[in-house]
Structure 1
Amino acid sequence: MRKWSRKNSLSGLKLRSEMDAREANVLRSLVGAVSGLLAERAEEAPEDDLAALTGLRTGNTTAPEDPRLRRLLPDFHRSEPGSPDAERADLNSALRGLHEPEIIDAKLAAGSVILNTVPTSGGKIVLTPEQADSWLTALTDVRLALGTVLGIDADTPDHLSPDDPRAPHLDVYHWLTWMQDSLLQALAP
């Protein structure tokens, strides 16, 4: 992938890059996998009679069991040491039920922008600033999910030994990080 560049045109600011077919397939696959997880979560939401009457959607009221989804859809409030957990659990449950559908919708919309703008066989990519914002959101989601699977934390080295099964995936994680940083730099005035 080429570094993102910033170009002004008669129709406004455009951000450009180019990706080969292999890179496009990897990115599309990762975004598709994260979108699939989110779509499955949305489909698991219980049916609510009141929501059907009022038109207000409700989502799951319990935190996801899948660690990747827990990272993408965290609790709204974290328990503090010594605080009553029951109140926090009730608050998280209510907030999750109210807001999770819109959060998932936003994440799916961001992922669809990548899927719609990356040529399936590689090639040039041209984005508007709004599309670039969606890319940044979707890249963050993919990095969070992949980082969770790989167990990435502050102590993870930049490079793993070649015999570590996570090594190739860590390279992909670093590539996504570079892509996101390059796009951020191109967006900056």
Structure 2
Amino acid sequence: MRKWKRVETRNGPRFRSSLAPHEAALLQNLVGAMIGLLDERAKTAPSDELEEITGIETGHSQRPGDPTLGRLLPDFYKRDEEDEVSLEAAESLNAALRSLHEPEIIDAKRSAAQKLLDTVPANGGRFELTEEAANAWIAAVNDLRLTLGVMLEIGPEGPERLPTDHPLAAHFDVYQWLTVLQEYLVLVLMGKPTG
């Protein structure tokens, strides 16, 4: 991947880069798999009588059992040890918030991912993004990093380098590549030099 370049136009800024064919294919595969996970979660949401009457979509009240989806759709309220809210009250709050907001969160994540798929050059090559598309790329790439981070068990201290013979070493390299892609896009979007 080349670095991002910001170009000012009459219709607002544009963000240009290019991808090698294997990079474009990798993004397409990763994003397609992530959309599949989100679609499956949305399809399995229980139906609700209120939804049938009002048309307001509701989601699951329970957190995802899959750790990857759990990272993409975390609890809204995180209780700590000294919290005055009981564990039962925190669980009830999370269930209500999840039921109300999970469908729109899934839609937003799916929309950003689809925008990336719609703008990535099919066989690699140069491409240009609007500011809206660049923000969608940032969101989608961040979600990809979260999903890979779960698989690689990357904690709050950041990633640790894996030995080259480790079975997940290639995944770690992809995680690092996505980090650089996202970081440089954020910097150019902010109008800062990318080094």
* Interval of TM-score (by shorter of Structure 1 and Structure 2): over 0.9
Number of the residue aligned with 1:127: 129
Following superposition, the deviation at residue 156 of structure 1 comes to 3.5
Matched, 1:49 2:60: no
Number of the residue aligned with 1:156: 159
Following superposition, the deviation at residue 56 of structure 1 comes to 0.7
Following superposition, the deviation at residue 182 of structure 1 comes to 0.7
> Structure 2: 5+ residue runs without aligned partners?
none
CA RMSD, Structure 1 to Structure 2 (Å): 1.1
Q: How far apart are the structure 2 equivalents of 1:13 and 1:141?
A: 24
Following superposition, the deviation at residue 160 of structure 1 comes to 1.6
> Structure 1: 5+ residue runs without aligned partners?
none
The counterpart of 1:173, out of the listed 164, 172, 175, is 175
CA deviations 1:92-133 (Å, max 9, x no partner) are 000000000000000000000110001111111210111111
CA deviations 1:132-158 (Å, max 9, x no partner) are 11110001100000100111122632x
Number of the residue aligned with 1:89: 91
Deviates more, 1:22-31 or 1:160-169: 160-169
Following superposition, the deviation at residue 49 of structure 1 comes to 1.6
Return the letter of the residue paired with 2:92.
Answer: D
Number of the residue aligned with 2:23: 23
Return closer, same or farther for 1:155/1:135 CA change in 2, 3 Å cut-off: closer
Q: How far apart are the structure 1 equivalents of 2:171 and 2:35?
A: 19
Q: How far apart are the structure 1 equivalents of 2:77 and 2:171?
A: 31
Q: How far apart are the structure 1 equivalents of 2:178 and 2:127?
A: 16
Count matched residues: 188
Return the letter of the residue paired with 1:27.
Answer: L
Q: How far apart are the structure 2 equivalents of 1:124 and 1:98?
A: 40
Percent identical? 47
Q: How far apart are the structure 2 equivalents of 1:3 and 1:136?
A: 15
User: TM-score, normalized by length of structure 1?
Assistant: 0.96
The counterpart of 2:119, out of the listed 117, 121, 135, is 117
Following superposition, the deviation at residue 38 of structure 1 comes to 0.6
